[in-house]
Amino acid sequence: MIRTIQDIAKQTAYETGREELSQRVLDTMAKIPRHEFVPDSQKPCAYDNRPLSIGHGQTISQPYIVALMTDLLDLELTDIVLEIGTGSGYQAAILSKLVKQVYTIEIIEALGKEAQPRFQILDYQNIEVKIGDGYLGWQEHAPYDAIIVTAAGMDIPPPLVSQLKNGGRLIIPVGERFQVQSLMLIEKNLEGQLQSRKVLPVAFVPLTRGRETLNDQI
């Protein structure tokens, strides 16, 4: 899987600007048991480089996209990261081995409640899960060194931009479902000014809205 990821990175370097992805990120992914984050019916395909269904109309992203998004955040061990869209927990598990603390929000209650015990069983101790509308972020623990959104928004949520630390990075797919979406990297400099760029065309499930509060902490 790791060799495949690096091969794709070389093929897409003209768009992403990264001919090779961080070995630190790839070494971490190699240690995460991806098969533990997919349904039993998908386990034979767990390490294929493609998205897989995890139920509830949601997917676990293909390994290359997970690696690219993680790499683009330029994470440090001291970082505090916010993830929007816990899903099965695979992305959060990877982040947990690269940073100090991961806060992750999932709007689909069943997925959030399945992810939390999975983290405990697999001994990912620095992940905290909350059920709620990720568009609103998680103000309690802001500002964040990095924010990653694993579903496509129609825009870049202003609450997430405001909760991003000066000097931080936000990665998010933007666009409508069934249309061309763009993976966007937003950087906030030390003066709080924003710079954004399109990284790559992608296809993500839409960012679900509907929960007005973030009171349901698991």
Which residues participate in catalysis according to the annotation? 61
- CA-wise closest residue to 81 among 21, 141, 153: 141
Sequence-ordered list of residues with C-beta below 8 angstroms from that of 75, at least 6 positions apart, any chain: 81, 95, 98, 99, 145, 146
Rounded Cα–Cα distance for residues 39 and 133 (Å): 24
Three-state secondary structure call for residue 192: coil
| Contact yes or no for 134/84 (Cβ under 8 A) | yes
Would you call 77 exposed, middle or buried from its count of C-beta atoms within 10 A (0-12, 13-18, 19+)? exposed
Output b/e per residue, 79-104; b: 16+ Cβ within 10 A.
Answer: bbbbbbbbbbbbbbbbbbbbbebbbb
